[in-house]
Structure 1
Amino acid sequence: MQIVIVSDTHSQNEILECLEKKYKDAYAYIHCGDLEDDPRFYPNWLIVKGNNDYYGKFREDFRIRVGSHRIYVTHSHRCSYLYREQNLVRLAKEYGCDIVCYGHTHVSKIKQVEDVLLINPGSARLPRDGKSPSYALLEIDGDKVEAKIIYQEDWDF
């Protein structure tokens, strides 16, 4: 099962439609916050509230089950700057999740911490890590979990 993950589009949301077309059979489309638009315009997307989301009703966070895996999704702006990863791992364990998707930092990252896979797709508009805009693709096949960051130079849309 493929899960498309994007974050921090900051009102430049055309990419969402492009991703839906490219991954039309995806199991889920996740936006980790800072959409800066009304989420009702994106009915196929699971969207959490970012620190810049004021247009419409958003969930602060959510959890979804994909096969035997549970995914926790948050923007992470309420997590400590210095201890963000530790806080995310703690929250994931509290919620019984083994995967966390988060945004806010505009820095793409995939990192295993203890038994929790952390995925930050970076920003699809304004990256802060010196890299190009990006999104993430998560593939789950039974117990096998693979995540990768896809940068703008590799986009074919």
Structure 2
Amino acid sequence: MQIIVASDTHGRNERLLELEKLYPEAALFLHAGDWGTDPKKYDHWVTVMGNNDIRYERDMEKNRIILADGHKIFMLHGQQLPYGNREKRLADMANQNGCDIAIYGHSHKAFIEEINGVLVINPGSLLRSRDGRGISYIVLTLDKNQVDAKLVFWMNRPDQP
């Protein structure tokens, strides 16, 4: 099962439509918040509310659990957690909810690491990177026994020469 993970588009949501076209075989499209517009216009995307999504608060969940091919994914935006140990706290929250994958956004810094048995990932931002590596998203590939997360930089996506 292929899942596309994005976050922090802040209004540059046409890139989400490009990802849908680029990955037609994807079973899920996940967005970790900070849309900058009404996410209802993007019905292929499962989302959580970011700190800049206040206008759409009543229509969005602050966190959610997604079942996918024998895995449980815990997703939230990330502003709820202190900066210094955000990833460890997120892994703990995922473990408490029986999840083996945790997805967050907010920092605009791409991150992939296993922490206490949980694969913690942040796709970075499709608007502006804050780690100097460029705007990015993640292709998450799942089967019942394995999880693979690949960071893809926008300039290096498969449709680029």
- TM-score w.r.t. length of structure 2: 0.94
Q: Structure 1 residue 59 and structure 2 residue 65: aligned?
A: no
Structure with the larger helix share: 2
Q: Match for residue 148 of structure 2?
A: 146
- Whole-Å separation in 2 of the counterparts to 1:81 and 1:120: 14
Unpaired runs of 5+ in structure 2?
A: none
- Whole-Å separation in 2 of the counterparts to 1:120 and 1:113: 13
Number of residue pairs aligned between Structure 1 and Structure 2: 157
Q: Structure 1 residue 92 and structure 2 residue 94: aligned?
A: yes
- Whole-Å separation in 2 of the counterparts to 1:83 and 1:144: 26
Q: CA deviation at 1:39?
A: 1.4
Partner SS state of residue 134, structure 2: coil
Coordinate RMSD, CA, aligned: 1.0
Q: What one-letter code is carried by the residue in structure 2 that aligns with 1:14?
A: E
Q: Deviations over 1:96-152 (max 9, x none)?
A: 000001100000010011200001000111100011100001000221110011002
Q: Match for residue 80 of structure 1?
A: 82
Q: Match for residue 132 of structure 1?
A: 134
Among 107, 110, 117, the alignment partner of 2:109 is 107
- TM-score w.r.t. length of structure 1: 0.96
Q: Match for residue 37 of structure 1?
A: 37
Q: CA deviation at 1:83?
A: 1.4
Q: Deviations over 1:21-45 (max 9, x none)?
A: 1111211000000011111101110
Aligned structure 1 segments of 4 or more residues deviating by more than 3 angstroms: none
- Whole-Å separation in 1 of the counterparts to 2:89 and 2:117: 14
- Whole-Å separation in 2 of the counterparts to 1:140 and 1:148: 12
Identity among equivalent pairs (%): 40
Partner SS state of residue 55, structure 1: helix
- Whole-Å separation in 2 of the counterparts to 1:55 and 1:7: 17
Q: Is the 8 A contact 1:61 1:73 kept in 2?
A: yes
- Whole-Å separation in 2 of the counterparts to 1:72 and 1:16: 21
Q: What one-letter code is carried by the residue in structure 2 that aligns with 1:25?
A: E
Once structures 1 and 2 are overlaid, which stretch shifts more, 47-56 or 132-141? Answer: 47-56
